[in-house]
Chains A and B, each alone.
Chain A
Amino acid sequence: EPEVTQTPSHQVTQMGQEVILRCVPISNHLYFYWYRQILGQKVEFLVSFYNNEISEKSEIFDDQFSVERPDGSNFTLKIRSTKLEDSAMYFCASRDLGRDNEQFFGPGTRLTVL
């Protein structure tokens, strides 16, 4: 069964450093999403991406964040200068066209900022 994959599973970085979180969505999916979950809290939407552009972003997704689909298979989230409060689980999700289709989540990347 096709699945969304994410790498790395755990990333540790120093405050101020740049990180890139990688996702490989399911191959025929056209909508892509990033969500984050701070430990013990709810899952929050960051950004959605369709047709090679951002379709919606939350107030969390400020200028420090960017997304890219560099090669038609990967979907990346970059945090330019990490802060302590960026420590969280980051989930990628993808969805096919069609209003009834659900989002499939990847296993997440745990980001720890020291």
Chain B
Amino acid sequence: AQTVTQSQPEMSVQEAETVTLSCTYDTSESDYYLFWYKQPPSRQMILVIRQEAYKQQNATENRFSVNFQKAAKSFSLKISDSQLGDAAMYFCAYRVLNEKLTFGTGTRLTIIP
């Protein structure tokens, strides 16, 4: 069974600084997708960034980027120039082709003004 592990239940970062959230996963598949979702206090699930396993290049979306290490089964999220609006729960998730999303337990990110 696929599992997703987020070992940092909580992280904090000074505003304007950079923070990295960790995620590892376990799978026997070679073709899959990885995602980071943001969940603010409203509890809406907002897609931050996605990575296709068949792509070697790390995905970037403005201030958000990932470090995808396929052999190590690692998928970390880097947030640059942290802003107060980045404060939220962040969930790492995994999906094989047309199947369900499997989520990690989340990391609560606090931004210190």
Residues of A whose CB lies within 8 Å of any CB of B are 31, 33, 35, 37, 41-45, 48, 50, 56, 58, 89, 91, 93, 95, 99-100, 102-103, 105, 107-108, 110
Q: Which residue of B lies closest to A58 (CB)?
A: B100
B105 CB, nearest partner CB in chain A, Å = 5
12 other contacts beyond A35-B101, A43-B45, A99-B98, with CB at 8 A cut-off?
A42-B105, A43-B103, A48-B99, A93-B101, A100-B33, A102-B35, A102-B47, A103-B101, A105-B44, A105-B47, A108-B43, A110-B43
Contact B43 A99 (CB under 8 A): no
User: Given A42-B104, A42-B106, do A91 and B99 touch, yes or no (CB 8 Å)?
Assistant: no
B99 contact set on A, CB distance < 8 A: 48, 56
- In order of increasing CB-CB distance, the 9 nearest A-B pairs are A105-B45, A45-B100, A43-B103, A42-B105, A42-B103, A107-B44, A99-B97, A89-B43, A108-B43
B103 interface neighbour in A44, A48, A89, A108, Cβ under 8 Å: A44
B52 contact set on A, CB distance < 8 A: 100
Docked pose: A95 CA to B105 CA in angstroms: 23
The A interface, classified by DSSP as helix, strand, loop or mixed, is: strand
B93 contact set on A, CB distance < 8 A: 43
Docked pose: A99 CA to B100 CA in angstroms: 12
A42 interface neighbour in B44, B50, B91, Cβ under 8 Å: B91
Q: Which residue of A lies closest to B97 (CB)?
A: A99
A91 contact set on B, CB distance < 8 A: 45
B60 CB, nearest partner CB in chain A, Å = 17
B23 CB, nearest partner CB in chain A, Å = 12
